[in-house]
Structure 1
Amino acid sequence: METIEWGDFERVQIRAGTIVEVEDFPQARRPAYKLRVDFGAGLGVLKSSAQITDLYAREELEGRQVLAVVNFPAKQIGPIRSECLVTGLHREDGAVVLAVPDKPVPNGARLA
């Protein structure tokens, strides 16, 4: 396994946000949702796409807190411009389990 310096980790901004809108994303190559995630006053609401349809229904995602990388450059994914990367873990079957805080935290709180 490659090691990194502490400064490398400090450059990655992983922050908590609340999903405020979920839409189907039929144009995606693999099943996905379009998400709008509120990171609070400092960052506002950012768009993302997430391939999490195997384990999560749309209606259970709105209002849920997630962890996302917010300092990657925006990336065009089909018709949407993804502004953050919502994080998750792959199971053996390929399904993605969201990385989430286990207790509520303020939107915009940074992973330390």
Structure 2
Amino acid sequence: MARESKPLVFFEETMEKLDIRTGRIITVELETKTPKLTYKMTIDFGKFGTRTSYGRFTKHPVEEVKDRLVLAVLNFGPKKMGLVTSEVLVLGVQYPKADSGEATFVSPAVNAKIGSKLF
């Protein structure tokens, strides 16, 4: 039997309000000033600028993360993570068989244009 999903919402009330864009990770390093190990990622969103994000994508080696295309929410407010502040939320899903919160990326299947909007 299928699990019940969350209540029905409408595009105009939800997705239309989110600014989800494609970015390229240009620098990545292990961050230890957060409650759990995370990566500090500098992401280029083209005409939308460069932003910093912290995320628990550490099951991926650094060399696999650098230059990766990702999808991120640009219009959430900044989020404190210990002593650092994340400017954008990089989208991810649970990494297989990893601790809760450890993620793998949601990425375009092809080399999409930097700054392009999810629709």
On whether the aligned pair clears a TM of 0.5, the verdict is: yes
**Which segments of 5 or more consecutive residues in structure 2 lack a partner in the other structure?**
1-5
In structure 2, give the amino acid aligned to 1:68.
Answer: A
In structure 2, give the amino acid aligned to 1:107.
Answer: I
Q: Which position in structure 2 is the counterpart of 1:104? A: 111
Residues in 1 aligned to 2:10 and 2:108: alpha-carbon distance in whole angstroms: 25
Runs of 4+ in 1 over 4 A off after TM superposition: none
**2:33 and 2:84 in contact (8 A); partners too:** no
**2:70 and 2:107 in contact (8 A); partners too:** yes
- Equivalent runs, 1:1-80 vs 2, <5 Å: 1-7=6-12, 8-41=14-47, 43-54=48-59, 56-80=60-84
Q: What's the TM-score, normalizing by structure 1? A: 0.91
Residues in 2 aligned to 1:24 and 1:97: alpha-carbon distance in whole angstroms: 16
Residue deviations 1:6-49, cap 9 Å, x none? Answer: 112100111100000101101221121001100001x1100000
**Which segments of 5 or more consecutive residues in structure 1 lack a partner in the other structure?**
none
Shift of residue 93 of structure 1?
A: 2.1
Secondary structure of the structure 2 residue equivalent to 1:24? strand
Residues in 1 aligned to 2:61 and 2:81: alpha-carbon distance in whole angstroms: 21
- Pairs aligned (count): 110
Q: What's the TM-score, normalizing by structure 2? A: 0.86
Q: Which position in structure 1 is the counterpart of 2:93? A: 89
